[in-house]
Structure 1
Amino acid sequence: MSEQIHKRPNAIGSLIIVGAMLALTRTVHVWQEGSILAWALLGLAAGCTAALLLGWTRLVKGSLRKNRVRIALLALVGAGALTLNGCESTWKVLAVPPHFVSHQLCSAVFVAGLEPVGYYREAIQPKFGAASNFIRYELDRQRREVRVSFMGVVKSRSIYEGPLGCRVTHAAEPVPERTAMVPSSVPATPVETIAPQSAALADALQHAFADPQTAPHRYTKAVVVVHRGRIIGERYASGVTSATPLQGWSMTKSVTNALLGILVRKGKLDMNAPAPIAEWSSLGDSRHRITSDQLLRMVSGIGCGDSLHTAGWHTLFDPDTQMEYDIPDQASFAAKAGLRAKPGDQWQYTNCNYVLLSRIIRDAIGGDPVRVRTFFENEIFKPLGIETATFEFDSAGTPLGTAQLWASARDWARFGLLYLRDGVTSSGQRLLPEGWVDYSAQLTAQSSDLGYGAGFWTQRGNSSGGRARIAAGMPADSFMAVGSQGQYTIVIPSEDLVIVRLGWSYTPDDDIIATERLTREVIAAVHTSKELQN
């Protein structure tokens, strides 16, 4: 059984969008090359030609013979404009929306069990604005897949592979479907929600869920507060429970940090040695001396895209975004990137760093997704009591350690507790090497403006960003896993607190202002509420 959700796209509108994409693609490329004015005009001409071509045909419908010469000339000019722009780069831009939609809907429905129409309306449609009118998607529950068409031209298909999550399929590079390779997972059973244990804490969570009547919306879906190792309050939006996996986005990078720490503890990785990347193994390669530590701290110097600023149409042109949604072997793509700066000199937040770290993890474990998934279960999920986590993989079998881990708010809190306890589980088992947590929360000197550590954002080290967050109420010893659109797992050792907030917010800077308020108010509730002092 399949569910067809969106209407068939309008042809003229589709061509207008295509034309705009052509113009923007050419303009972005020329901006990078230098001679922007002349080439931008050519790109604009390409876009206008593509848009006008079908529009003109529509206008003269019924009298094509009379206008066939003019239409032929328009077609010729349009073809030339396409050549100037470059089919490959244009196609990469156009491929991002359908791949994004098919993957996200597949994960939301089959991994998280969310209702598709509401998820599309809140978590996907606002990202594309008017262009969302040209997206048509079909949800096939029997085949466990999502098929998407963008403008009736570019198509995508994502499949659900059980514990391996969802994956975009690529017809040009077929990979056997892996569902049968891994035993089916058993969905976690929701347990009773623990109400806030003081009035002040209830008010804090109420404020966290407050949403304006008009855009930009915050769409808070879950908040969990853990104090002294126990939940003292949690709240969930309609359709979300204590067992609903939600996407962590770049909080996944913090879990990648933990997996690296486990490899270090086992003696399988040296963070300060040259990163074991085959494409860089030649001593004459300028990237040969890049270390795993430099990749983790985002100071590798490799010239990929910008994964920090992901709002707006311009992200479609970013190599990082195209890698995440249109490349079957993401690490191979990242390994081809040259240097834009000397390793260790500059901080640049790019997902290419963590894609490469993810392949390092895969190779150290054994190289295939089944072994990698088993390692994750045995080495981190089971010891922490995590039951809902789904770590997704690309078609090359590399875990998507940049942004594609889904887990419930309670499980994200369990992960935060590992770092609150200095890498030791509640049963006393050490998962991370001694000193690894402080290493992770230590400020990377080159990010002194924003405050990035090693897979975590940090208030330690006197960065300008850290100082601003401290002034807004975050303790100076705190650090946090942060994901796009307001995903937070905040670790506060001085208060013995872990605070998790999940949702899909469109407010500025990943909803940081509301999250700072939540942190302030939770700490105040803990300090002033007699119910929380025991």
Structure 2
Amino acid sequence: MKKRIVSSFVLPLAVATFAAQGQESDTTINAYAAGYVAGYTCSATFNANKSEAAIREHELTGIYSLVADKVAAMKAMVDRENKLVRVAYDDGQRERISVWRPRLGCVDLPVGATIADADKVSRPFADSAVEKDSGEPWQERQPVNHVTGNLELDGVIQKAFSKHYGAGARTTAILIATPEKIIAENYLDGFTPETSQRTWSVAKSIAASVVGAAVLHRNVDVKASANVANWRSALDPRRNITLEHLLHMASGLDSNAAGNRTDRVYMGGGRVIDTATTTALEVTPGTRWKYANNDTMLAMRAVREGFENADDYLKFPYDMLLDKIGMAHTFLETDWNDDFIMSSQVWTTARDLARLGVLHVQNGMWKGERVLPENWLTYISTPAPAQPPESSPGYGAQWWLYNERFPELPNDTIAARGNRGQFLVIIPSENLVVVRRGYDMAGEPGFNEHDFVRDVLKALK
């Protein structure tokens, strides 16, 4: 068998740390750290209803080394009445602010914004109480944190909450399901079916699903030019970048040494249109696979270009995807310009991810209604022309492919994979969805989803 990767993100993180430290000043890195604390505290408080101690333990430890030490020394001021978080930095001379909005979660204001700017963010959704998870569509549900009666499977799940699948693993949730039944559902103490976590790059596969909904409902053509406004000059070769190139991680754009580090947007309060749309081509679109957060953000920006106003765009993923399949505890966060940061900044639950998996197992159908195009599962599962190295899973359209490179899993296995051990694995031939959530430690071997899913399959046989 070919060599398997143990953790998807250890090497890119190491590379990115040196790159970032060579580019940003101390003041900027301080602003990043304050933005990290503000954003995560805001989202974990108002999306997930977590305590200050739990936020410190989970969201703010074991993180990106560039800001880890600075984050540890910073204090968040949580304003529950106005649903925002403030974090001072540079000896109190400056502060970063993150503001919560219904359904959209938290938005980080730019460096230099003041508390007076908090009311300026758009709010297309009315505030309403989030209800307890209904448990739909599953007709049968294994009680939460109960044994399944399958001794081998129970042993595998128990190992998942240990260091067995990775020395740096910190598992918070395991959910194994078919479209009809939740076979197993287990959580770390303090977590429930309503506890959302950041998806990190699992969001990319959610973004692809939104694109699929746009293909179905808005006649979006993935083969057409992405038509980003910043690239429309007749002399601009970026006009040749298609939406499909972006979905395939094959834009050819310069995304720095480590394309999975987009600190200016993720922590710095930057806008997608000021960062992702401004880089130049390095190679011809479609000829190189390179993992790049910007490609996902640009794919969503390409969809937005077809909307006349921001509110309609912001509501579209909810109206045409999330609400249709019951993903009621999912928050798609944006920059302050109302561009979705769906390369990473989505907060959701294990059950909501499983619902997305079931939608794909059912080939885009939900309770008799078509939510995704009929061929969408085939489309996202088809290997892109340019592929990652053979030590990695293959790549389709914003989904990872465990194809012939990994003979211990069925050839149609696909996965959404995110930093700190977020995984949604879909095996259509087995009618199976596997979700794992965690807070794996940066710089240590993370949770090995391949071995876990292999062991789950053996146990279910």
Measured against the shorter chain, the TM-score band is 0.7 to 0.9
CA drift of 1:336 comes to 0.9
Matching residue of 1:162: 102
**Which of 339, 357, 378 is the equivalent residue of 1:398?**
339
* Residues 308 and 328 of structure 1, relative CA distance in 2, 3 Å threshold: closer
Q: Do the aligned partners of 2:264 and 2:270 also contact (CA within 8 Å) in 1?
A: no
- Listed one character per residue, the Cα deviations across residues 234-293 of structure 1 (whole Å, up to 9, x for unaligned) are 101111111212211111111110111111123431111111201111221021111000
Aligned to 1:202: 154
Q: Residue 188 of structure 1 aligns with which residue?
A: 131
Give 1:211 shift. 4.0
Amino acid at match of 2:402: Q
Tell me the distance in 2 between the aligned counterparts of 1:125 and 1:195.
29
Q: Judging changes above 3 Å, is the alpha-carbon distance between structure 1 residues 284 and 158 closer, same or farther for their aligned structure 2 residues?
A: same
Matches within 5 A, 1:111-260: 111-127=47-63, 128-152=67-91, 155-170=95-110, 172=112, 174=117, 176-178=119-121, 181-190=124-133, 193=144, 195-197=146-148, 198-211=150-163, 217-260=168-211
CA distance in structure 2 between the aligned counterparts of 1:522 and 1:216, rounded to whole angstroms? 20
State the 1:97 CA deviation: 1.2
Between 163-172 and 483-492, the greater mean CA deviation after superposition: 163-172
Letter in 2 for 1:520: R
Verify the 8 A CA contact 2:121 2:336 in the aligned structure 1: no
- Counterpart CA distance in 1 for 2:334 and 2:78 is 21
> Does the alignment pair 1:336 with 2:278?
yes
With over 3 angstroms needed to count, the CA separation of the structure-2 counterparts of 1:180 and 1:248, relative to structure 1, is: closer
Alpha-carbon distance in 1 for matches of 2:275, 2:382: 30
Contact 2:252–2:281 (CA under 8 A) maintained in structure 1: yes
SS, match of residue 264 in structure 2: helix
Would the aligned equivalents of 1:423 and 1:430 in 2 still touch at CA under 8 Å?
yes
The percentage of counterpart residues that share the same residue type is: 25
Match of 1:48 in 2: none
SS at match of 1:160: strand
CA distance in 2, matches of 1:129, 1:158: 19
Q: Is the 8 A contact 2:111 2:268 kept in 1?
A: no
Correspondence for 1:519: 453
Secondary structure in structure 1 of the residue aligned to 2:233: coil
SS at 1:364's partner residue? coil
Query: Is residue 2:440 matched to residue 1:505?
Result: yes
Q: CA RMSD in A?
A: 2.6
1:232 Cα deviation after fit: 0.8
With CA pairs under 8 Å and 6+ residues apart, which has the higher RCO, 1 or 2?
2
Aligned length: 425
Alpha-carbon shift at residue 456 of structure 1 (Å): 0.5
Deviations, residues 437-489 of structure 1 (Å, cap 9, x unaligned):
111112223224132211101113x4xxxx2xx25x33221000111111001
Asked if 1:455 is matched to 2:394, the reply is no
Q: Distance in 1 between matches of 2:428 and 2:105?
A: 33
**Counting helix residues as a fraction of each chain, which structure ranks higher?**
1
Asked whether the 8 Å contact 1:251–1:488 carries over to 2, the reply is yes
How far 1:90 moved relative to its partner? 4.7
Amino acid at match of 1:398: D
For residues 286 and 126 of structure 1, the distance between their equivalents in structure 2, rounded to whole angstroms, comes to 41
Aligned to 1:358: 300
Q: CA deviation at 1:298?
A: 0.9
2:423 corresponds in structure 1 to 488
**Contact 2:214–2:220 at 8 Å: present in 1 too?**
yes
Compute the displacement of 1:188 (Å). Answer: 2.8
Question: Which AA in structure 1 matches 2:421?
Answer: G
Cα distance, 1:175 vs structure 2: 7.1
For residue 154 of structure 1, report the CA deviation from its aligned partner. Answer: 5.0
Equivalent pair of 1:485/1:510 in contact (CA under 8 Å): no
Q: CA deviation at 1:392?
A: 1.0
Helix, strand or coil at the partner of 1:347: coil
Match of 2:357 among 416, 419, 422: 416
Change (3 A) 1:225 1:333: same
SS of match in other structure, 2:186 = strand
Deviation of 1:201 after TM superposition, in Å, equals 2.0
Name the aligned partner's letter for residue 107 of structure 2: R
Tell me the CA shift for residue 508 of structure 1: 6.4
Partner of 1:323: 265
In structure 1, give the amino acid aligned to 2:452. L
Provide the rounded CA distance (Å) in 1 between the counterparts of 2:106 and 2:306. 23
Pick the aligned partner of 2:235 from 260, 278, 284: 284
In the TM superposition, what whole-angstrom CA distance separates every residue of 1:349-384 from its partner, at most 9, and x where no partner exists?
11111111222223334431x423432222111221
Distance in 2 (CA, whole Å) between partners of 1:108 and 1:409 is: 15
Larger radius of gyration: 1
Q: CA deviation at 1:304?
A: 2.1
Partners of 1:306 and 1:350 within 8 A in 2: no
2:139 corresponds to: none
Contact kept? 1:488, 1:502, Cα under 8 Å: yes
CA contact (8 A) 1:147 1:158 kept: yes
The residue that corresponds to 2:326 in the other structure is 385
Residues 254 and 366 from structure 1, CA distance in 2 versus in 1: closer, same or farther, beyond 3 angstroms?
farther
CA distance in 1, matches of 2:218, 2:418: 30
Q: 1:362–1:399: 8 Å Cα contact kept in structure 2?
A: no
* Aligned twin of 1:109: 45
Per the TM alignment, residue 525 of structure 1 is displaced from its structure 2 partner at its CA by 2.1
Aligned residue type for 1:169: L
Verify the 8 A CA contact 2:37 2:71 in the aligned structure 1.
no
* Structure 1 unaligned blocks of 5 or more: 1-23, 30-87, 310-317, 528-534
Distance 1:357 1:510 in 2: 31
CA distance in 2, matches of 1:179, 1:289: 33
Query: Conserved in 2, the CA contact under 8 Å of 1:324 and 1:330?
Result: no
* TM-score, length basis structure 1: 0.74
Q: In the TM superposition, what is the alpha-carbon distance from 1:156 to its structure 2 partner?
A: 1.1
Determine the C-alpha separation between the residues in 1 that align with 2:257 and 2:38: 23
Aligned partners of 1:331 and 1:355 also within 8 Å: no
List structure 1 runs of 4+ shifted beyond 6 angstroms.
24-27, 507-510
Q: Aligned partners of 1:363, 1:155: CA distance in 2, in Å?
A: 33
CA distance in 1, matches of 2:242, 2:375: 19
- Closer, same or farther in 2 for the Cα pair 1:456/1:268, shift >3 Å? same
Q: Work out whether residues 136 and 150 of structure 1, in 8 Å CA contact, stay in contact via their aligned partners in 2.
A: no
Tell whether 2:438 aligns with 1:438: no
Whether the 8 Å CA contact 2:33–2:70 is kept in 1: the answer is: no
Q: Would you say the 8 A contact 2:31–2:111 is kept in 1?
A: no
2:217 matched to 1:266? Answer: yes
Counterpart position of 2:22: 28
